[in-house]
A and B are shown apart, each in its own frame.
Chain A
Amino acid sequence: MKKILVFLLSVLTFSAQAAESAEGGEFSPGQMITHHIGDDYVWEFAHGVVLPLPVILYGENGLEIFSSSNFYDEHGKPRPYKGYVMDHGHIYYANEEGEPRIERGENGEAKPVGPLDFSITKNVASMFLSVILLFAVFLTIAGRYKKTRGRAPYGVQSFFEPIIIFIRDEIGKTNIGPKYERYMPYLLTIFFFIWFNNLLGLMPGGANLTGNIAVTLVLAVLTLLITLFSGNKAYWGHIFATPGVPGWLAPIMIPVELLGILTKPFALMVRLFANITAGHIVILSLFSLIFIFKSVAIAPVSVAFAIFMNFLELFVALLQAYIFTLLSAMYFGGAVEEHDGHGDHGHGDAPHAVEAHH
C-alpha cells in the first residue's frame, strides 16, 4: 500500500509538473516555480485537468460569488467579469479597457486596487480537503475507541494510536508538565493538521498550503495567544522582573523579553513556511533543469535527485509537524511552569539542536 502510494506520488508529480512546465513558448523556471508554490483561483491537477474554484469578493458592489472560470473566455483567454479582472493571480477592479484599475497611494506609488478577496482558492480548497480527511480519519478512530472499549486497537486506529500517545507523552507531558491535558486537543490538532497538509502538498497537483505564510501565521498566532492567555504569575514575573537581573537593567530587559514573546511564534511561522516552500522549490528546480538544458539526457539525473528529494520531503513533512507541535508545547510549558529559579524557563533553548538540521 505504502509502496504504491510512494510510487504514485513520485511518478504523478513528475508528469504533472513536467507537463505544465512545458507550456508557453519561452520556459521561465522562476515563473513556473512561483506559480506552483503560490495560490491560484483554479486547481490544476495536470495540464488540461482544471477545476475552477468559486470566487468570493466583497467590494464596491457588495458581495459577489461566481466561478473563477468566468475570468476566461471559451478560448482560455483572460477577460474581465462583473467589473473585476484577474491579473497575476490577484483580482482587481477593472477599468474601461479591462485592465486593473490603478490608484495612487498617499506616498504617490501607483498600485492596482481590488476588493476584499475571500475566494475559495486552491489553498483553501486543499485545506478543506485536508479537513475532510482529518474528520474522516479521527472521527473513525474515535468511533473505534467507543466501539471496542478497552480492547486492543486495530487497523487505522493502531497506526495513529502510537502517534497520539507519542504526542501526549513525549511532547505534552514532557514539556508542559502536570497541566498538559488542557493543551492536548490543540497540540494534536496542529500536529495532524500540519502533517496532513504537508503530505497533501507533496501529492501531485497538491497545493502548497503549509508553505503559505498566511497559514503558518495563523497557526503561530494561535500558539502565541494560547501561550499569553495561559501565562501564570511566574511567566509574567519572569518577563517584567527577570530573576537575578538587577533592577536598573529593567529598561533593557523588559523590551527584550517582550520582543522574545513575539520572536518565538515568528520563528515558528517562518520555519514551517520556509521549510515546506523550500522543499517544493528544490523539487521544481530539479525538474526545471531538464527544460533549461533542453535535453532528455539530463532527465534521469533530475528524476533521481527529485525522487531523493521527495523522500526527504516526506520526512520533513513529519519533522516540521513535530517541531511545530514540540515548540508550541514548550512555550505552553514555559507559560504554566511553576518557576523554581532553574532550568530552561520554557524559552525553547533545547530544541535548537533539532532545528539546526534545517
Chain B
Amino acid sequence: MELVTPALGLLFWQVVTFLVVLFLLSKFAWKPIMGALREREESIDSALSMAEKAKLEMQSLKADNERLLNEARAERDRILKDATDAANHLVESARAKANEEGSRMIEQARLSIENEKKAALTEVKNLAATLSIDIAEKLIKRELQDEQAQRALVQSYLQDARLS
C-alpha cells in the first residue's frame, strides 16, 4: 500500500519541477532546436530543388547551345553556298558579257568593214565615172573637132533611123 500511495511532498515537487522544466526547455531548448531542424530541412529541401532546377537549366542550356550551334552551322553552309552561287553567277555573267561584247565588237567591225567596203566601192565607182566622163569628154572633144566627120556620122545615123 505504501508503494502505491503518492507522497504529498514528491507530488508537489514533481509538479513544480516538471512545469518549470517544461517551460524552460520549451523556451530555451525545444523552440530553437525545432526551429533549427526545420530551417535545416527547408534549406536542404530548397538546395535539392535548386540543384534539380540547375540541372534542368543546364540541360536546356545545352540544348540551346546545340540548337545555336546547329543554326550557326546551317547559316554558315547557307552563306557559303550563297557566296559560291554569287561567285559562279558573277563569273558566268562576266563570261556572258564578255562573249556578248566580243560578238558585238565583231559585228560592229564587220559592219564597219562592210560600210568601208561600200564606201570604197562607191568612191571607186565615182572615180571610175569621173574618169570615164573625163576620158569621154576628152574623147568627145577630140572627135567633135572634125566637123565633117560628125556630119557624116549624123548622116549615117539618120539614114539608119527609118523615119516613119
A262 to chain B, nearest CB (A): 16
Instruction: For the complex, give the distance between the alpha carbons of A217 and B3 in Å.
Output: 13
Closest to B27 in A: A185
Which of B37-45, B62-70, B135-143 forms contacts with chain A? B37-45
Cβ A149 vs Cβ B36 within 8 A? yes
Total inter-chain residue pairs, C-beta < 8 Å: 117
> A116, A138, A139: which has the most chain B beta carbons within 10 Å?
A138
Which of A94-102, A119-127, A328-336, A349-357 forms contacts with chain B? A119-127
Closest to B13 in A: A124
Choice from A127, A149, A184, A277 contacting B34 with Cβ under 8 Å: A184
The yes or no answer to A117 lying at the interface (CB within 8 A) is yes
Q: Which residues of chain A are near B34, meaning CB under 8 Å? A: 164, 168, 181, 184
Q: Which residues of chain B are near A37, meaning CB under 8 Å? A: 3
The yes or no answer to A289 lying at the interface (CB within 8 A) is no
Which of B14-22, B92-100, B115-123 forms contacts with chain A? B14-22
Cβ B33 vs Cβ A142 within 8 A? yes
Q: Which residues of chain A are near B48, meaning CB under 8 Å? A: none
The yes or no answer to B157 lying at the interface (CB within 8 A) is no
The yes or no answer to B2 lying at the interface (CB within 8 A) is yes
The yes or no answer to A218 lying at the interface (CB within 8 A) is yes
Given A168-B34, A193-B21, A218-B11, answer yes or no on A38-B3 (Cβ-Cβ < 8 Å). yes
Chain A interface main SS type: helix
| Interface 0/1 of A245-282, CB less than 8 Å to B | 00000000000000000000000000001000100000
Cβ B2 vs Cβ A38 within 8 A? yes
Q: Which residues of chain A are near B25, meaning CB under 8 Å? A: 134-135, 138, 185, 188-189
Cβ A218 vs Cβ B9 within 8 A? no
Instruction: For the complex, give the distance between the alpha carbons of A34 and B43 in Å.
Output: 54
Which of A13-21, A79-87, A208-216 forms contacts with chain B? A208-216
Tell me the B108-157 residues at the A interface (CB within 8 Å).
none
Cβ A145 vs Cβ B33 within 8 A? yes
Cβ B17 vs Cβ A117 within 8 A? no
Q: Which residues of chain B are near A229, meaning CB under 8 Å? A: none
Given A131-B21, A145-B36, A185-B22, answer yes or no on A214-B28 (Cβ-Cβ < 8 Å). no
Cβ A193 vs Cβ B18 within 8 A? yes
Q: 17 A-B residue contacts at CB 8 Å? A: A116-B9, A117-B9, A118-B12, A118-B13, A124-B10, A124-B13, A131-B20, A135-B25, A141-B29, A142-B28, A185-B31, A186-B26, A193-B21, A212-B7, A213-B4, A218-B14, A219-B18
Q: Contact residues of A with B, CB < 8 Å?
A: 34, 37-39, 56, 116-121, 123-124, 127-128, 131, 134-135, 138-139, 141-142, 145-146, 149-150, 161, 164-165, 168, 181, 184-186, 188-189, 193, 212-215, 217-219, 222, 273, 277
Q: Contact residues of B with A, CB < 8 Å?
A: 2-15, 17-18, 20-22, 24-26, 28-37, 39-40, 43
